Amino acid sequence: MALLKESLKDFFQTKKDWISFGGVFLLFLIFWSYNYSFRFAPLFTQALKDNQIGLSLFYFLFFAAGALVIYPIVLAFYGKLNEFKPSIPLIAGYVVVLAIVCSARIRDSELFNWVGSSSVEIAMLTVNYVGTILAYTALPLAWIILRKNSPDRFLGLSKSPKFGEVLFLLGLMLPLIVIASFSLSFLSVYPRFAGRMSDGYLIYPPALWIILFEISYAADFAVLETFFRGFMVFPLASRVGSKPAVLGMAFMYGLLHFTKPQFEALGSFFGGFILGMISYRTKSVYAGILIHIGIALAMELAATLQFLYFME
């Protein structure tokens, strides 16, 4: 509890901090409301799913628009607007990676004819997660290699977490996951490893593929945390300060979830903000990695138990 309180205390020190957070959240709420009122990102994603170039261009413009809105605003809040232009290459890197992560998919199931019919879907998911891992890893790895004398070189990967605090924060989320598992929108997405029949029943693949999928799924969250709470916080914070860096990251992290269930997307803004402040305070991304993996696997388990034992 102390880590959470102290991390939030680091941010909310003055009236300006409360106003800046409220302003950014209000802006995010406008984007969020528009997206789920008109199903903006889901409809474009569905319409362009077979058009790789079109989908990539859509997500590039989507995240570029978000970045061009949020970063000048948060920098202006803290009197750092003059740092926006020098930060453009870094911000452009964020946009490119997020566009790739959201659009680059193998969709041709014929490439997986070598696996059994019940394993095709999970094999595609697993391979696509491996691709996502590579996309998230490229820029942080280049930063670590090239920034040899920089104090933020390791992006929070060189310090271990406080495991007691991690378990406490994870424990706070578990009751919410249990409650969410009774929602149809939740069960329409989770468990990720299972295919769905037209009547709503699940298709369970072989155990080996479930294990391979869950490993890639967990690894994806590890590199996601490193990218968002490491690469999107530390390099920019060293230039403009932690507060605008974390607010901008939380906003972009929320946009990433605009094809997920709507309250998961809303919660992702707060989750991104809290984990960003914890990461900066502790100079470690491992708390976020462990919490994120724990939540993700708990969601998988909760949904699986619902389908196996509680749903009629």
Going 260 to 263 to 264 to 268, the CA torsion angle's sign is positive
Query: DSSP characters for 155-190?
Result: TT-SS---HHHHHHHHHHHHHHHHHHTT-HHHHTT-
Tokens of 61: 């413009």
Q: What is the pLDDT of residue 1?
A: 65
Residue 52: how many other CB atoms lie within 10 Å: 13
pLDDT recorded at residue 286 = 93
CA distances to 182, 192, 197, 230, 298 from 306, rounded to whole Å, are 8, 14, 16, 35, 12
pLDDT score at 32: 97
Joined together, the tokens standing for residue 24 give 């950014």
Residues facing residue 196 across a β-bridge: 202
DSSP tag of 309 = I
pLDDT digits (tens, 9 = 90+) for 232-242: 999 999 999 99
Q: What pLDDT shows up at residue 166?
A: 80
Domain extent, residue 252, equals 1-310
Number of domains comprising the chain? 1
What stretches in the chain show pLDDT beneath 70?
1, 197-200, 311-312
Burial of 309 (0-12, 13-18, 19+ CB in 10 A): exposed
pLDDT at 200: 63
- Per residue in 181-224, pLDDT (tens digit) is 888 878 888 888 887 766 667 778 888 999 999 999 999 999 99
Q: At 95, which helix (H) or strand (E)? A: helix 84-103
Please give the pLDDT value at position 121. Answer: 85
Closest CA to 99 of 130, 48, 63: 63
With beta carbons less than 8 A apart as the criterion, state whether 28 and 251 touch.
Answer: yes
